[in-house]
Structure 1
Amino acid sequence: MSDIPSTARVVIIGGGAVGASCLYHLAKAGWTDCVLLEKNELTSGSTWHAAGNVPTFSASWSIMNMQRYSVDLYRGLAEAVDYPMNYHVTGSIRLAHSRERMQEFERVKGMGRYQGMDIEICSNDDLKARYPFLETHDLAGGLYDPHDGDIDPAQLTQALAKGARDLGGRIIRFCAVTGVRRDSAEWVIETEKGEIRCEYVVNAAGYRAQEVGAMFGRTVPMATMSHQYILFEEVEELRAWSEAEGRKLPLLRDVDSSYYLRQEKMGFNLGPYERNCRAHWVTPDDPMPEDFSFQLWQDDLERIEWYLEDALARVPLMAKAGLSRVINGPIPYTPDGNPLIGPMPGVPNAFEACVFTFGICQAGGAGKVLAEWVTEGGTEWDMWSCDPRRWGPWADHDHCVAKAKEVYGHEYAMHFPRHAWPAGRDKRLSPIHDELKALGAQFGAYGGWERANWFAKPDDDTSEEATQTWERKGPWEPRISEECAAVRDAVGVLDLPGFARFRLEGVGVGEWLRGQITGALPRPGRIGLVYIADERGRVVTEFSVIRDDDDELTLITAAAAQEHDRELLLSRMPPHAGFRLNDITETSTALIVAGPKSRGLIGALAQADLTQPWLTHQISYMAGRPVRLVRVSFTGELGWEIHAKPHDLPVIWEALMEEGTRHGLKPFGMYALDSLRIEKGYRAWKGDLSTDYTMFEAGLDRFVKLDKAQDFPGKAALMAEKQRGPAKRFVALTLEDSPFDAPYMSTLWSNGEVVGETTSGAWGYRVGASIALGAVRSDLAAPGTELEVEIFGTRVGARVAPGQALWDPQNARLRA
């Protein structure tokens, strides 16, 4: 008789540390009717051979949150579920070979402090005191994380599994999933032991996630990398020191050389992330085996020889240790190295919790996040960094492999704000990409679309090395200044491919949309911003709405939001709606033309009424080609968006460039646009606008209509917040002189107390000041309030601006 249940509320596919954590956290949330299916034994995938390091360090706010939660969970897990575990909290040291690396450490220290962790910056003497076998002569310093350590991955998984079982969850081992099908509103999970009907399903299949995803018609963006680590025999001097000190050495990471080194019993464990790395199972002659449970690849020591030699020079004591064993196992990677946690794109009631590069340190937090997605429809922390919808079909096999190898080979790399990673590029190109390139465009990828970041002159240094700095200054700075000046004084043009566009048409669509957004729809013939909140009143997304008629409109959103926002809209549409939604992203493109001379330039080429006011739109012709002229400008200057068919854009561009010579036209890029929009206090999605903030905290009060007839998601929460007052308020800040602009999540201070954070920052070339946008405790949001912004360990004076717009606060230039 089969031991498989016929029904469950949730079925989790995959029995590694992440799958077990998902089951445990669902059970903790009261969802006890859940089943985990594992094709072999628990831990048989990547979990069994994982090194088991448990860091909190991350330059990502959300990833740090997730890893910090894991550390807190693991500390008390053995007692909580009555299952013994080997968990060694040794602390860890990260070494810095440069000033830039120390600046990264200072930034992470500030983020960690905000999350309640006491991360320390170390001098070389501090490093030597904590790790006496370390050579420090060529170092700039380091960072010490007291919360770091290592855990036994198998014991962790079994502890989570026991905790889940004790709460009512079920685990069925040696039960491979062979297929899935949709039956009415339920999933039917087909296995070797029978079928299970369920409401929700979770793909937690690790490096086999793509295989499972294919059952749902989903291509999971991933590749599988070979990761080797070396175990060394015991060293008598290490034993003597460890016994005398009563502790293990801190886990050591030489991030600039790219390896970790851990005390393993009385020996060592060395794990490099080598540049000459290898991906497996990515070509027809290297297929994934039917079963790779508890298996490894053969050693490939030549690949990591340099890293071994470097580690021996860094910790000479290792030379006394004989090599014991080499572990060479599969580790899955997404194109950006972050896992997939959240709704499965295009698939109802299906979720992903898979492709974890650091599955052991993230498993605890991942289970929490996944359980929140399933049981509450949203997460405590904004988790866009891990959302599966951040990738679209453009992230094909070649892209995934190229990016996985790049990320693996630069696992510990610093992510400088102006550095564009080169692998896997040119997936989505503008029709005028080559024309922009000929003008010196330096490109960045936005939702896969190549956009010009800035325009270099022939003698500018555009090498990768020139972009590897945290400072504002670089080869781009004089060019950004020139581009902003052209928009301010004459006219600039920005090619902006990739706006995500959704056409909504049909009976009742206007009324339906009013019930989704927090505010009002623009009138026909107008354009306006609208926002969708979640039930907590937090910002989910922003749309520009171009209204043609009562039941005909176009929603425009960020390129990166295409999959996210399409899913959001489709999930909220009634099942038998009298209207339809079409994704028209690929059938239209746009130029931004902005500046005081933009009316003259467009007027010379377009058959249009350019006296129509701000926030209107019209159908016209430019250079004989049909366009939609939208009187709106993210730059804060008089301007229009020119929406056209992709095949018409080269003709329009050529005409603009030719006529533009008489108007002072200059192409500008995304870096200039970022400066211009911050001067106006305009928000960026998933930076300034995220589910970390309510509509009121984000300063979007004017887009909330609590007195409108329609209910909308979050209305009750926002009414309650309105009555008690928001805890935070969105502000614009001007900063004292600093070579750095404020990065995302820089801490705000007042009288020695942390009182908020920045959400974006840039130099404002029109106002001549460094500007930051952010959220601060409500009682400190008054104009003129003096604060400090912590930037790379230094507190820089800041003042709350009179309003959210530092440039043209009355919008006189926009309305000109």
Structure 2
Amino acid sequence: SKSFTADHKPLMGEAPEVRGFFLGCGFNSAGMMLGGGCGRELAHWIIHGRPEKDMYGYDIRRFHQSLTDNSRWIRERSHESYAKNYSVVFPFDEPLASRNMRTDPFHKVLTEQGCFFQERHGWERPGWFSQDGPVLDYDWYGAYDISRNQNYKYNKLLGEEYTFDYPPHHHLIKNECLTCRHGVTVFNMSYFGKFYLTGPDAKKAADWLFSADVRKVPGDAYYLAIGGGVAEHNWNHIRTVLQDESFNCQLTDHSEDMGMISIQGPKSREVLQEILETDLSNGAFPFSTHKVCSAAGHKVRAMRLSFVGELGWELHIPKDSCLPVYRAVMAAGAKHGIINAGYRAIDSLSIEKGYRHWHADLRPDDTPLEAGLAFTCKLKSTVPFLGRASLEKQKADGLHRRIVCFTIEEKVPMFGLEAIYRNGIPVGHLRRSDYGFYIDKQIGYGYIRNPDGGVVSTDFIKSGKFTLERMGVVYEAKAHLKSPFDPSNNRVKGIYPNEQHNFCQASV
């Protein structure tokens, strides 16, 4: 018999429900092809607690339990996986089967405003916004007693994504990005996991779990906001460490109880100062701090953070307060030209800034040093943390692999996996690529190695002539040691090249 899984990938690793029970199944008619390598990695996983290579895409923890407990979701999504077995895999494809499994309080109002949703971890999150009205609900081809749409806008728009060129709505994503860079946008990020780490040993657990120095954080409770696609994986990892280390603390999941919107751009302070009853100045509310305060009469947690490289705040909002706060933000932002934006814009804006994405720029087999994230590690302290010994050894030995940013002048789309050449010799491949609309260039990030096996030094990068190969065509590329966009981090600090009221594009 053949087994087909919901995303056409095997199910491997330790079962979330039972410690010590490992899965190695669901090979989608490719068991003979995958069995050798997967068997080797599973053996390593059982013995050492983790695989040697990156197996995240096969890890059973990629699925939330609300999905794996849902027989309708399993049936419909696995059916679609089987039906698309030999289909061309396009970069921005989305499933049509068994959608709307997990929706947040903003779902209806964003649907009415033309939101094209992406499915991640069962959640419907905003992808981008069409400008011609609501996108109809999914009908899964009229199967499973679901009435078929006569005018199926989602399917039509998805079909336009079936290209290896820039899609026809590329200009809409551009508008979302540039509005964020020049004005203000609101991103619905409610699909994030929202966990609380509490209890007598919470501080001790946080010191061990997190590479950053959290000793300066007051109190002994921690609020963890985690990207929705990796929330279940993080949940299981943290609970496993708490159990293995016998920490006396609890991890509780409040993901469904709260919404989260991010208001970003040079005009974000002007908008939010109208509705947040707290001082938003740099002195009173510095970058990377948070406050519980009132927003339009509702209690929210405001965090001054950005994943797009602009001045901005995230608002973490109790479920029943989400819509009133959102409406207040949109009303206050109307005179500033505020718009909704989605994750396609976040993907572009974040790669332009050089912020890392999990399982694109960062995988389980990458280290913070290789990823240019040494600043997130408390190596200057004496506090032990999970992975510290490996990082200290790698730092002493030198980096034999490191991530590099590339830009190319030609306007050709890349999506990741394109080969990287240095002086004509292959040294790696892109992990992620997207168009940066502010600098007006295609951007890619990838890890490179020294073909001689030596250290990848700054001089090795600076002295090389790099090219990228896309579908058999080679393009000259420029390597960057820092992000080509705002490398001094002025914008997240609220420092802009011109006054916010008279903002214009700056040379970068």
Q: Tell me by how many angstroms 1:481 deviates.
A: 0.9
Give the Cα–Cα distance (whole angstroms) in 1 for the partners of residues 66 and 11 of structure 2. Answer: 17
| Aligned pair partner of 1:413 in 87, 101, 116 | 87
Give the Cα–Cα distance (whole angstroms) in 1 for the partners of residues 158 and 236 of structure 2. Answer: 36
Give the Cα–Cα distance (whole angstroms) in 2 for the partners of residues 468 and 597 of structure 1. Answer: 36
8 Å Cα contact 2:184/2:336 also seen in 1? yes
Task: Give the equivalent residue in structure 2 for 1:597.
Answer: 267
Task: Give the equivalent residue in structure 2 for 1:434.
Answer: 108
- For residues 597-746 of structure 1, the aligned pairs below 5 Å read 597-611=267-281, 612-741=285-414, 743-746=415-418
Task: Give the equivalent residue in structure 2 for 1:464.
Answer: 158
Q: Tell me by how many angstroms 1:522 deviates.
A: 6.3
- For residues 152-301 of structure 1, the aligned pairs below 5 Å read none
Q: Does 1:369 align with 2:41?
A: yes
| Aligned pair partner of 2:213 in 509, 512, 520 | 520
| 1:107-137 deviations in Å (ceiling 9; x for gaps) | xxxxxxxxxxxxxxxxxxxxxxxxxxxxxxx
8 Å Cα contact 1:734/1:772 also seen in 2? yes
**What SS does the aligned partner of 1:333 have?**
coil
| 1:377-422 deviations in Å (ceiling 9; x for gaps) | 2222211111000111232211111111111111111221222221
Q: Tell me by how many angstroms 1:781 deviates.
A: 5.5
Structure 1 unmatched ranges of 5 or more: 1-329, 525-548
In the alignment, residue 799 of structure 1 is paired with which amino acid? K
Give the Cα–Cα distance (whole angstroms) in 1 for the partners of residues 364 and 20 of structure 2. Answer: 21
- For residues 804-815 of structure 1, the aligned pairs below 5 Å read 805-815=483-493
8 Å Cα contact 1:501/1:585 also seen in 2? yes
Give the Cα–Cα distance (whole angstroms) in 2 for the partners of residues 572 and 578 of structure 1. Answer: 11
8 Å Cα contact 2:272/2:332 also seen in 1? no
Give the Cα–Cα distance (whole angstroms) in 2 for the partners of residues 463 and 499 of structure 1. Answer: 25
C-alpha distance 784-634 of structure 1, shift in aligned 2 (>3 A):
farther
- For residues 22-421 of structure 1, the aligned pairs below 5 Å read 330-357=1-28, 358-395=30-67, 396-421=70-95
Give the Cα–Cα distance (whole angstroms) in 2 for the partners of residues 775 and 802 of structure 1. Answer: 12
**What SS does the aligned partner of 1:515 have?**
helix
8 Å Cα contact 1:730/1:781 also seen in 2? no
In the alignment, residue 371 of structure 2 is paired with which amino acid? A
C-alpha distance 592-364 of structure 1, shift in aligned 2 (>3 A):
same
Q: Tell me by how many angstroms 1:783 deviates.
A: 4.4
| Aligned pair partner of 2:474 in 777, 782, 795 | 795
In the alignment, residue 463 of structure 1 is paired with which amino acid? L
Task: Give the equivalent residue in structure 2 for 1:274.
Answer: none
Task: Give the equivalent residue in structure 1 for 2:252.
Answer: 582
Stretch deviating more after TM superposition (389-398 or 673-682): 389-398
Give the Cα–Cα distance (whole angstroms) in 2 for the partners of residues 759 and 522 of structure 1. Answer: 34
Give the Cα–Cα distance (whole angstroms) in 2 for the partners of residues 511 and 345 of structure 1. Answer: 24
Q: Tell me by how many angstroms 1:518 deviates.
A: 2.7
Q: Does 1:766 align with 2:451?
A: no
Q: Does 1:786 align with 2:465?
A: yes
**Identity percentage of aligned residues:** 30
Q: Tell me by how many angstroms 1:790 deviates.
A: 1.7
**What SS does the aligned partner of 1:585 have?**
coil
Structure with greater proportional strand content: 1
Q: Tell me by how many angstroms 1:745 deviates.
A: 2.5
Q: Tell me by how many angstroms 1:465 deviates.
A: 2.4
Give the Cα–Cα distance (whole angstroms) in 1 for the partners of residues 85 and 66 of structure 2. Answer: 23
C-alpha distance 781-445 of structure 1, shift in aligned 2 (>3 A):
farther
Give the Cα–Cα distance (whole angstroms) in 2 for the partners of residues 453 and 554 of structure 1. Answer: 26
C-alpha distance 623-783 of structure 1, shift in aligned 2 (>3 A):
farther
C-alpha distance 736-723 of structure 1, shift in aligned 2 (>3 A):
same
**What SS does the aligned partner of 1:756 have?**
strand
Stretch deviating more after TM superposition (515-524 or 620-629): 515-524
In the alignment, residue 728 of structure 1 is paired with which amino acid? R
C-alpha distance 781-449 of structure 1, shift in aligned 2 (>3 A):
farther
8 Å Cα contact 1:503/1:554 also seen in 2? yes
| 1:659-678 deviations in Å (ceiling 9; x for gaps) | 22111101101001111000
C-alpha distance 781-735 of structure 1, shift in aligned 2 (>3 A):
farther
**What SS does the aligned partner of 1:571 have?**
helix
Q: Does 1:486 align with 2:164?
A: no
Give the Cα–Cα distance (whole angstroms) in 1 for the partners of residues 295 and 492 of structure 2. Answer: 22
| 1:38-60 deviations in Å (ceiling 9; x for gaps) | xxxxxxxxxxxxxxxxxxxxxxx
Give the Cα–Cα distance (whole angstroms) in 1 for the partners of residues 3 and 239 of structure 2. Answer: 30
**What SS does the aligned partner of 1:739 have?**
coil
Structure 2 unmatched ranges of 5 or more: 136-152, 450-455, 495-508
TM-score in terms of structure 2 length: 0.87
8 Å Cα contact 1:607/1:622 also seen in 2? yes
Q: Does 1:498 align with 2:191?
A: yes
Give the Cα–Cα distance (whole angstroms) in 2 for the partners of residues 802 and 577 of structure 1. Answer: 40
8 Å Cα contact 1:341/1:351 also seen in 2? yes
Give the Cα–Cα distance (whole angstroms) in 2 for the partners of residues 692 and 677 of structure 1. Answer: 22
Give the Cα–Cα distance (whole angstroms) in 1 for the partners of residues 199 and 57 of structure 2. Answer: 35
**What SS does the aligned partner of 1:629 have?**
strand
**What SS does the aligned partner of 2:489 have?**
coil
8 Å Cα contact 2:45/2:52 also seen in 1? no
Give the Cα–Cα distance (whole angstroms) in 1 for the partners of residues 127 and 461 of structure 2. Answer: 35
Task: Give the equivalent residue in structure 1 for 2:238.
Answer: 569
TM-score in terms of structure 1 length: 0.55
8 Å Cα contact 1:729/1:781 also seen in 2? no
In the alignment, residue 569 of structure 1 is paired with which amino acid? I
Give the Cα–Cα distance (whole angstroms) in 2 for the partners of residues 517 and 600 of structure 1. Answer: 34
C-alpha distance 576-385 of structure 1, shift in aligned 2 (>3 A):
closer
8 Å Cα contact 1:781/1:800 also seen in 2? no
Give the Cα–Cα distance (whole angstroms) in 2 for the partners of residues 770 and 452 of structure 1. Answer: 23
Give the Cα–Cα distance (whole angstroms) in 2 for the partners of residues 745 and 643 of structure 1. Answer: 35
C-alpha distance 788-388 of structure 1, shift in aligned 2 (>3 A):
same
Give the Cα–Cα distance (whole angstroms) in 1 for the partners of residues 301 and 43 of structure 2. Answer: 44
8 Å Cα contact 2:412/2:442 also seen in 1? no
Q: Tell me by how many angstroms 1:340 deviates.
A: 0.5
8 Å Cα contact 1:785/1:799 also seen in 2? no
C-alpha distance 784-627 of structure 1, shift in aligned 2 (>3 A):
farther
**What SS does the aligned partner of 2:132 have?**
coil
| 1:122-170 deviations in Å (ceiling 9; x for gaps) | xxxxxxxxxxxxxxxxxxxxxxxxxxxxxxxxxxxxxxxxxxxxxxxxx
8 Å Cα contact 2:348/2:435 also seen in 1? yes
Q: Tell me by how many angstroms 1:431 deviates.
A: 0.8
| 1:57-114 deviations in Å (ceiling 9; x for gaps) | xxxxxxxxxxxxxxxxxxxxxxxxxxxxxxxxxxxxxxxxxxxxxxxxxxxxxxxxxx
| Aligned pair partner of 1:455 in 129, 149, 173 | 129
Task: Give the equivalent residue in structure 1 for 2:504.
Answer: none
Give the Cα–Cα distance (whole angstroms) in 1 for the partners of residues 188 and 215 of structure 2. Answer: 26
